[in-house]
């Protein structure tokens, strides 16, 4: 799929060129530089129009989805990735990634990260290479009801997890395992379970999240995310650099003699160690 950013840019360039030509032709004002101001303005307008279309489209999908989703759909996942990438760049934000070379050759893995903002998943979607798309995230049920994203993340196969209900939580874990084994997709999950709004570096991990790795016999990719919690404070006048660091990949042979609590503490400590390190 062609990037949404490229499509919006081409349409903005064409629109700005056409408007500038008409102004110059019919008013005899030879201010060609006006097009430079029109390009970003048209880009924002087209982006907003895209969101309106997605709201309408999502409403139709919601009406048509009575039975729920039993497998991931790459098309809807690509829409989420494109809109996420466009949004995060439009907010005067750059995502810098380190350690992509550490990712496993196989697409079958779980990716765990700290959770500090609603922009965390957007940053991950922005940096993951094409080879590892789509990635299916495990998320709280409320995200499935969001006006724009909800119907699309549901169709893409994102898995809601209710941590207050052990039975529902186990169902979500088993569904993630099934997706990894049957559809060859990586799974993303934040073991903290919710955004860290405290002054602590990280919240405790839910060890149950790591049952996916044991049941699917797949590696655990340990990832840290920094500065996504600054995006809403800095936008639009101050630039934000988000850092996504792939810290380590722990393979099944390395954790086969550990329990989930031990594995979760190892992963959590790796992330904490990186979070306290200053970026260059």
Residues 66/211, Cβ–Cβ less than 8 Å: no
137 DSSP assignment: E
Q: Which residues make Cβ contacts (< 8 Å) with residue 219, sequence separation at least 6? A: 104, 106, 108, 109, 110, 213, 249, 250, 251, 252
Domains along the chain with CATH numbers: 4-59 (no CATH), 71-275 (3.40.1130.10)
CB burial of 193-207 (b: ≥16 within 10 Å; e: otherwise) equals: bebbeeeeebbebbb
Q: What whole-number distance in Å separates Cα of residue 112 and Cα of residue 165?
A: 21
Its pTM surpasses 0.85: yes
Q: In what order do the strands lie in the sheet with 136-139?
A: 93-98, 240-250, 220-226, 110-113, 187-189, 136-139, 159-160
Residues 272/224, Cβ–Cβ less than 8 Å: no
Instruction: Tell me how long the chain is.
Output: 280
CA angle 165/161/169 to nearest 5° reads 45
CB burial of 228-257 (b: ≥16 within 10 Å; e: otherwise) equals: bbbbeeeeeeeebebbbbbbbbbeeeebee
Q: Which residues make Cβ contacts (< 8 Å) with residue 154, sequence separation at least 6? A: 61, 65, 68, 69, 144
> How does pLDDT run along the chain (280 residues), one tens digit per residue?
568 999 999 999 898 888 877 777 666 555 556 667 788 889 999 999 999 999 889 888 876 555 567 788 999 999 999 999 999 999 999 999 999 999 999 999 999 999 999 999 999 999 999 999 999 999 888 878 777 788 899 899 999 987 777 788 889 999 999 999 999 999 999 999 889 999 899 999 999 999 999 999 999 999 999 999 999 999 888 999 999 999 999 999 999 999 999 999 999 999 999 999 876 5
Q: What whole-number distance in Å separates Cα of residue 227 and Cα of residue 112?
A: 17
Question: Could you tell me whether strands 187-189 and 136-139 are parallel, antiparallel, or unpaired per DSSP bridges?
Answer: parallel
148 DSSP assignment: T
Looking only at Cα atoms, what is the longest distance across the chain? Answer: 79
Q: Which residues make Cβ contacts (< 8 Å) with residue 40, sequence separation at least 6? A: 12
């Amino acid at each position: 799929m062609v990037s949404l950013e490229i499509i919006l840019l081409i349409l903005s360039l064409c629109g700005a060129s056409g408007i500038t030509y008409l102004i110059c032709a019919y008013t005899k004002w030879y201010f060609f530089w006006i097009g430079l101001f029109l390009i970003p303005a048209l880009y924002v307008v087209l982006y907003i129009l895209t969101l309106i279309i997605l709201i309408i489209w999502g409403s139709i999908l919601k009406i048509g989805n009575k039975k729920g989703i039993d497998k991931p759909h790459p098309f809807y996942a690509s829409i989420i990735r494109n809109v996420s990438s466009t949004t995060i760049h439009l907010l005067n934000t750059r995502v810098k990634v380190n350690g992509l070379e550490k990712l496993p050759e196989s697409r079958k893995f779980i990716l765990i990260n700290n959770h500090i903002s609603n922009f965390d998943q957007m940053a991950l979607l922005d940096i993951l290479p094409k080879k590892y798309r789509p990635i299916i995230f495990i998320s709280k049920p409320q995200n499935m009801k969001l006006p724009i994203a909800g119907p699309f993340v549901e169709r893409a196969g994102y898995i809601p997890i209710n941590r207050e209900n052990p039975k529902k939580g186990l169902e979500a874990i088993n569904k993630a395992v099934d997706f990894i084994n049957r559809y060859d997709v990586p799974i993303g999950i934040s073991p903290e379970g919710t955004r860290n709004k405290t002054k602590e570096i990280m919240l405790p991990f839910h060890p149950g999240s790591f049952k996916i790795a044991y049941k699917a016999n797949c590696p655990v990719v340990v990832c840290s995310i920094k500065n996504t919690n600054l995006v809403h404070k800095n936008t639009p006048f101050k630039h934000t650099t988000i850092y996504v660091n792939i810290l380590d990949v722990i393979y099944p042979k390395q954790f086969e003699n550990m329990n989930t609590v031990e594995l979760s503490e190892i992963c959590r400590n790796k992330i904490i160690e990186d979070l306290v390190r200053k970026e260059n």
